[in-house]
Amino acid sequence: MKTRKIAYLGMLMALALVLSYVESLIPFAVGIPGVKLGLTNIVTVIMLYIASPMETFLLCVFRAVLSGFMFGNAFSIIYSLAGCILSFIVMYLLKKSDKFSSVSISLVGGVCHNIGQIIVAAIVLSTYSVVYYIPVLFVAGCITGLVIGIVASQVLLRISDSFHV
């Protein structure tokens, strides 16, 4: 059973990295700096339902660091870590309450990811003027979080009986 769990976690990490790579190739030209689809959040949302909270958290952190080294830079790692840690905490608490669907959890996670990044941007840039960017990122986080949540919920419907880490 332990070998199976390691294999599943490795596969999910690989999937998250592939999605991160695919996302880096997509010219998301909406004219809004920093807005991404958040494809790797599909793996995070799925893991909230099929893996332990610690495994999900560690995958989020490792994915942020590895994808930053592979497709980004030191700043992208810092911003990604801030976003993924805040969004994981909030999504985990919502999931734990059993009052929210995977779609709504993903939507809130998308918004929280952006808020985490804005907090770090304010610290790194030593200015709070970046908070004026929150409404734009709020809307973007809602849209992308909704889409990612719908995809994750559909995947969960298809694997829920046969795929548990």
Domain ranges of the chain: 3-160
Percent of the chain with pLDDT over 70: 92
Specify the long-range contacts of residues 87-95, CB closer than 8 Å, at least 24 apart: 87/41, 87/44, 87/112, 87/113, 87/116, 88/44, 88/56, 88/57, 88/60, 91/44, 91/45, 91/48, 92/48, 92/53, 92/56, 92/57, 95/48, 95/49
CATH topology of domain 3-160: Arp2/3 complex 21 kDa subunit ARPC3 (1.10.1760)
pLDDT given for residue 36 in this prediction: 79
- Under DSSP, the state recorded for 131 is G
Amino acid residing at 17: L
Please state the separation of Cα 74 from the chain's center in Å.
Answer: 18
Q: Is the pLDDT of residue 132 over 60?
A: yes
Measured between alpha carbons, how far is residue 148 from residues 5, 44, 86, 132 in Å? Answer: 25, 10, 17, 25
Phi, psi of 98 (to 5 degrees): 60, 25
Alpha carbon distance 120, 80 (integer Å): 10
Sign of CA dihedral 2, 85, 72, 138: positive
Instruction: Convert the pLDDT of each residue in 8-35 to its tens digit.
Output: 999 999 999 999 999 888 876 555 666 7
Instruction: Convert the pLDDT of each residue in 113-126 to its tens digit.
Output: 999 999 999 999 99
Of 56, 36, 58, which Cα lies nearest the Cα of 117?
Answer: 36
Alpha carbon distance 111, 71 (integer Å): 23
